[in-house]
Amino acid sequence: MATNVSTMIDSDRIAQRVRELGAEITRDYVGRNLVLVCVLKGSFVFTSDLVRHIDLPMRVEFLGVRSYGEDTKSSGVVQITHDLTKPVEGDDVLVVEDIVDTGLTIAHLLDLLRTRKPASVKVCSLLHKPARTRIQVPIDYLGFTIEDKFVVGYGLDWAERYRNLPYIGLVESSS
Ligand code: 5GP
Ligand code: MG
Ligand code: MG
């Protein structure tokens, strides 16, 4: 199935970086009310690895979002398909994203989450494509900066496929 996907970031590099991010988050959130908000579907793999490297009492919530429009472009207008199950008022929310591309989606989600009156909201993203930025949103915890290529795997899809690849890869156009 994955024969037409070339590796951009292999699973060892991902695992190493996720360990580092978990340690950093652990240090920063000691004594706080950490709630990780996993943005579905793309960040389900990243979140599940990351939480196992956070050595703190914490909660996990899931926010299901669907972008309107084409799958490979972002309008930033997102439909909530699954909302948080508990209030986050007064909590320290850390939004976990798969990738920040134009920044439109994360900007929209931050606006939405701030209406819930958390004590703080920060962003953790596995990937960032700075070449395509349309809105600057600070990424407090970043896995990797990548060039402007459409990537799949480790939770990220192309028409709902490839989420199960254990690495980040590029779909070869000859497929
Ligand atoms: P943004 O609103 O920042 O442009 O895009 C965010 C969303 O677009 C991501 O959460 C992801 O669903 C999708 N996206 C952006 N770039 C890529 C990419 O290279 N690969 C995949 N699979 N999805 C992407
Ligand atoms: Mg996402
Ligand atoms: Mg997608």
Give pLDDT tens digits for 152-165.
999 999 999 999 99
Residue 110 has pLDDT above 90, yes or no: yes
Separation of alpha carbons 174 and 70, rounded Å = 21
Overall average pLDDT of the 144-153 stretch: 97
Q: Which of 47, 135, 156, 158 to mutate to test the pocket of ligand 1 (most atoms within 8 A of CB)?
A: 156
Q: Which ligand is nearest to the CA of 75?
A: 1
Separation of alpha carbons 15 and 32, rounded Å = 25
Catalytic pick among 49, 91, 92, 101: 101
**Which residue, chain included where needed, has tokens 């960032």?**
128
| CA 74 to centroid of ligand 1, rounded, Å | 7
pLDDT range class, residue 175, cuts 50, 70, 90: very low
Separation of alpha carbons 21 and 15, rounded Å = 10
Residue 47 has a pLDDT of: 98
Cβ–Cβ < 8 Å for 90, 119: yes
Q: Where are the domains of the chain?
A: 5-170
| CA 123 to centroid of ligand 2, rounded, Å | 12
The ligand 1 atom nearest the CA atom of 71 = 13
The distance of Cα 126 from the centroid of its chain, to the nearest Å, equals 6
Classify 124 as helix, strand or coil: strand
ipTM score over 0.90, yes or no:
yes
Residue 92 is a catalytic residue: no
The ligand 1 atom nearest the CA atom of 76 = 2
Residue 172 has a pLDDT of: 85
pTM, two decimal places: 0.94
List the residue whose alpha carbon is closest to atom 23 of ligand 1: 156
Task: Report whether CATH 3.40.50.2020 matches the domain 5-170.
Answer: yes
Cβ < 5 A residues, ion ligand 3: 157
Q: Is the CB of 171 under 6 A from ligand 1?
A: no
Among 126, 114, 123, 115, CA closest to 151: 126
